[in-house]
């Protein structure tokens, strides 16, 4: 049995088809007729864009509008004035089109790959896909096709690109295995949209498979079983039947309020990275957006988005949500999110450095432009502002002062906005947690970011395999901080939500109910599952579980105990 990242739930049983990438090797050469080479490059880009539009249309029919936009985004990237302009400069300097394309694409791939953030790394996968697509046209190589795969096929590849995924017939593909990618990669997003079980990041799996092998893909546990025996096949057939039954039962929670078994109501909202994701939140029955990560508006471009561009993005999300809440997190860059044109200096320890609210408070024009855009958009919906990585009261006060400054400017210009807009804090540092009592007196709400809170509290990088065993929100120290943050919010009558991954963790939910959390912000596909889990707990029962958990000494003791009661 092999193990990887469980990226798309379900059980797939079938025969493997290995996707072998065609060779895109070429011999670099110096060109003298640069005009002809420029035309050759531009013609190839045009063919690539036309092919991509066709693939996007296929994907629109098989998966949906949002998934098609992933591919359409590739057209925007290759036509970006900076990328295309730099490639053309290299060609004008005598490089052949292939070498110029590869040099610039590899620069972006290296830049995006250098981060520990999965969403940023996905940009590298996009650029790799674009590079191979345009190279295929330049070299006259036929791209990989999976549309003819027979029923019961499990696709296995080093990396399953969006362009390849577009050709999938979801009636014929029962599973996906890759050697790369994470839960937020486009391979995972597309697999979930197509409802195909997928296990990604299975190290070295291609060398252990051959086309025609019988394979089981467990997208729930992240397991891959090669050439299973009959007993294993029967076991997983039963597991598949149970999974499908649970999925059908989850539909009973669609359109319902989010209530625990005691009748207490909670807000169940979604995390998004771009305006169009708000539609996915509504489609999945989310009750709003608890985290809009605005840094993605600043990526994949060569200059800061204008105030109007930001305004239109925030307004679009607000209109999609109508009067449902929309919490917009101000720019959170630095750490593992690098945006080259902002000119951040290289730091030895960027996670402890000049990032998020620290960067924004030192770059007030940029920060005020974003605040102004958010305030203008607040006239069109139920918008709230949230500051990331706050570590002291001064940062909150300075941020709020800038909001008031922009409000006065809007009043003078007679521009409408929500004069009572809420301003909150993303509680994601241990420093913020231990002064939660003080922050709660000045913030309108808290939202706990458990990903960073866990990393900072445990002094561990979840991407470092040597210390990743420490990275768990069920560590006693992390649970104590979460409990204290929520208690401080309750005592000061402000709502407390959670937008980290722990909000959808089945083991965490009874603890959060007991602590007094009021809002759960999760990925859109997790909404119905979380609503169901919440519905099974009474406050009294959750309190008893919490009392026992908080008396235990280690993360293992806690997880072992919770596994017996969940």
Query: What is the DSSP track for 374-397?
Result: HHHHGGGSEEEEEESS--SHHHHH
Tell whether the model's pLDDT for residue 336 goes beyond 60: no
Higher pLDDT: 65 or 164? It is 164
Please tell me the predicted confidence (pLDDT) of residue 119: 62
The most confident of the ranges 63-67, 102-106, 545-549 is 545-549
When comparing pLDDT for 174 and 72, which is higher? 174
Overall average pLDDT of the 145-172 stretch: 84
Q: Which residue, chain included where needed, has tokens 């998004």?
A: 272
Q: Give the range among 128-137, 155-164, 482-491, 542-551 with minimum mean pLDDT.
A: 155-164
Token pair for 404: 């008031």
pLDDT of residue 276: 85
Q: List the catalytic residue out of 74, 186, 270, 460.
A: 186
Mean pLDDT (whole number) for 166-179: 88
Q: Is 130 helix (H, G, I), strand (E, B) or coil?
A: helix
For residues 337-352, give the mean pLDDT.
69
Q: Which ranges of 114-229 does DSSP label H, i.e. alpha helix?
A: 118-139, 162-165, 186-194
Please state the rounded mean pLDDT for residues 341-346: 74
Highest mean pLDDT: which range of 66-75, 119-128, 386-395: 386-395
Question: What is the pTM (predicted TM-score) of this model?
Answer: 0.75
Q: Look at phi and psi of residue 152 and say left if phi exceeds 0, alpha if psi is from -120 to 50, else beta.
A: left
Q: If you write DSSP's letter for every residue of 359-379 in order, what string do you get? A: HHHHSHHHHHHHHHHHHHHGG
pLDDT digit string (tens) for 410-461?
999 999 999 999 999 999 999 999 999 999 999 999 999 998 999 999 998 7
Using the predicted structure, report yes or no on whether residue 352 has a pLDDT greater than 80. Answer: no
For residue 465, what pLDDT is reported? 67
* Closest to 16 in 3D by CA, of 231, 215, 173: 215
Tell me how far apart the alpha carbons of residues 405 and 398 are, in angstroms, rounded to a whole number: 10
Residue 238, judged by CB atoms within 10 A of its CB (0-12, 13-18, 19+), counts as: exposed
360-369 pLDDT, tens digit each = 999 999 999 9
CA 333 → CA 117, 230, 296, 336, 343, distances in Å?
A: 11, 51, 10, 8, 11
Tell me the pLDDT band of 73, cut-offs 50, 70 and 90.
confident
Which pair of tokens denotes residue 275? 């305006």
Q: Which residues of 132-154 are buried (b: 16+ CB within 10 A; e: fewer)?
A: bbbbbbbeebebbebeebeeebb
Q: What is the pLDDT of residue 338?
A: 63
With a cut of 70, say whether residue 184 has pLDDT above it: no
d(CA 412, CA 405): 11
Least confident of 69-73, 142-146, 524-528: 142-146
pLDDT of residue 467: 82
pLDDT tens, position by position, 253-271 = 999 999 999 999 999 999 9
What is the pLDDT, as a whole number, of residue 349?
67
**pLDDT > 90? residue 376:** yes
Residue 563 has pLDDT above 60, yes or no: yes
Tell me the Cα Rg of the chain. 25
- Annotated catalytic residue 360: no
Start-to-end Cα distance in the chain: 27
d(CA 132, CA 102): 9
Q: 286: closest CA among 314, 328, 316, 258?
A: 258
What residue ranges in 429-495 does DSSP mark as E strands? 446-448
Residue 297, pLDDT score: 85
**What is the pLDDT, as a whole number, of residue 337?**
59
What's the mean per-residue pLDDT of the chain?
90
- Residue 343's pLDDT band (cuts 50, 70, 90): confident
Q: Which of 96, 105, 360, 499 is catalytic?
A: 499
Q: How confident is the model at residue 550 (pLDDT cuts 50, 70, 90)?
A: very high
What is the signed CA dihedral for 211, 215, 217, 223, rounded to 10 degrees? -110
Q: How far is 267 from 383, CA to CA, in rounded Å? A: 15
Q: Catalytic site residue 220?
A: no
- Picking from 1, 16, 4, 13, the residue whose alpha carbon sits closest to that of residue 210 is 16
Q: Which helix (H) or strand (E) holds 18?
A: strand 11-18
The H or E element containing residue 426 is strand 423-427
Q: Is the pLDDT of residue 105 over 80?
A: yes
Task: Report the pLDDT averaged over residues 33-49.
Answer: 95
Task: Write the DSSP symbol of residue 537.
Answer: -
Give me the percent of the chain exceeding a pLDDT of 70: 95
Q: How would residue 123 be classed by pLDDT, with cut points 50, 70 and 90?
A: confident
pLDDT at 473 over 90: yes
Q: What percent of the chain has pLDDT over 90?
A: 69
Q: Which domains does the chain have, with CATH numbers?
A: 1-20+144-232 (3.50.30.10), 21-139 (1.10.274.10), 258-565 (3.20.20.60)
Lowest mean per-residue pLDDT among 119-128, 433-442, 506-515: 119-128
Task: Please identify which residue in the block is written with the tokens 């941020």.
Answer: 399
**DSSP string computed for 63-82:** T-HHHHHHHHHHHHHHT-HH
Distance between CA atoms of residues 180 and 203, nearest Å: 8
pLDDT of the residue at 221: 92
DSSP helix, strand, coil percent of the chain (3-state; round to 5): 50, 15, 35
* pLDDT score, position 117: 58
**pLDDT score, position 348:** 67
* Residue 144 to residue 168: CA distance in whole angstroms: 11
E-assigned strand segments in 486-528: 496-498, 519-522
Nearest to 294 by CA among 280, 304, 281, 282: 304
């Amino acid at each position: 049995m092999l193990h990887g990242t469980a990226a798309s739930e379900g059980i797939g049983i079938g025969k493997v088809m290995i996707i072998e990438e065609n060779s895109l090797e070429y011999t670099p050469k110096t060109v003298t007729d640069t005009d002809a080479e420029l035309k050759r490059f531009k013609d190839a880009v045009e063919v690539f864009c036309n092919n991509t539009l066709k693939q996007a249309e296929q994907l629109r029919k098989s998966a949906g509008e949002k998934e098609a936009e992933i591919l359409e985004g590739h057209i925007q990237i290759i036509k970006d004035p900076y990328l295309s302009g730099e490639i053309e400069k290299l060609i004008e300097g005598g490089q052949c089109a292939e070498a110029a394309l590869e040099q610039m694409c590899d620069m972006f791939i290296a830049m995006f790959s250098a981060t520990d953030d999965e969403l940023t790394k996905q940009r590298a996968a996009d650029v790799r896909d674009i590079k191979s697509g345009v190279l295929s046209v330049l070299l006259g190589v036929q791209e990989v096709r999976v549309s003819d795969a027979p029923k019961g096929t499990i696709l296995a590849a080093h990396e399953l690109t969006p362009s390849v995924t577009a050709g999938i017939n979801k009636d014929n593909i029962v599973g996906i295995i890759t050697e790369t990618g994470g839960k937020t990669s486009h391979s995972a997003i597309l697999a979930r949209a197509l409802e195909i079980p997928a296990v990604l990041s299975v190290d070295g799996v291609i060398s252990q498979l051959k086309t025609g092998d019988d394979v089981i893909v467990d997208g729930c546990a992240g397991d891959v079983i090669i050439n299973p025996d009959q007993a294993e096949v029967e076991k997983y057939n039963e597991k598949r039947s149970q999974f499908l039954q649970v999925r059908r039962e989850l539909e009973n929670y669609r359109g319902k309020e989010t209530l625990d078994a005691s009748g207490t109501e909670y807000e169940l909202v979604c995390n998004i990275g771009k305006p169009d994701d708000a539609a996915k939140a509504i489609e999945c029955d989310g009750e709003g957006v608890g985290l809009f990560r605005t840094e993605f508006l600043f990526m994949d471009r060569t200059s800061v988005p204008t105030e109007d561009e930001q305004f239109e993005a925030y307004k679009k999300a607000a209109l999609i949500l109508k009067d449902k809440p929309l919490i917009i997190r101000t720019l959170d860059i630095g750490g593992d999110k690098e945006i080259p044109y902002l000119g951040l200096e290289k730091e030895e320890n960027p996670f402890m450095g000049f990032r998020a609210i620290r960067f924004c408070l030192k770059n007030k024009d940029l920060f005020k432009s974003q605040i102004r855009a958010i305030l203008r958009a607040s006239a069109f919906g139920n918008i709230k502002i949230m500051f990331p990585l706050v570590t002291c009261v001064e940062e909150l006060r300075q941020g709020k002062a800038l909001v008031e400054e922009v409000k006065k400017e809007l009043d003078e210009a007679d521009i409408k906005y929500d004069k009572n807009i809420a301003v909150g804090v993303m509680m994601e540092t241990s420093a913020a947690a231990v002064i939660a009592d003080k922050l709660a007196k000045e913030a309108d709400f808290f939202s706990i970011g458990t990903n960073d809170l866990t990393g900072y509290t445990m002094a561990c990088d979840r991407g470092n395999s040597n210390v990743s065993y420490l990275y768990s929100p069920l560590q006693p120290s992390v649970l104590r901080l979460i409990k204290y943050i929520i208690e401080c919010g309750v005592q000061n009558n402000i709502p407390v939500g959670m937008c980290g991954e722990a909000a959808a963790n089945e083991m965490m939910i009874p603890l959060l109910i007991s602590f007094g959390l009021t809002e759960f912000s999760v990925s859109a596909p997790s909404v119905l599952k979380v609503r169901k889990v919440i519905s099974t707990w009474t406050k009294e029962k959750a309190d008893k579980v919490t009392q026992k958990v908080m008396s235990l000494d280690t993360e293992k003791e806690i997880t072992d105990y919770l596994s017996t009661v969940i």
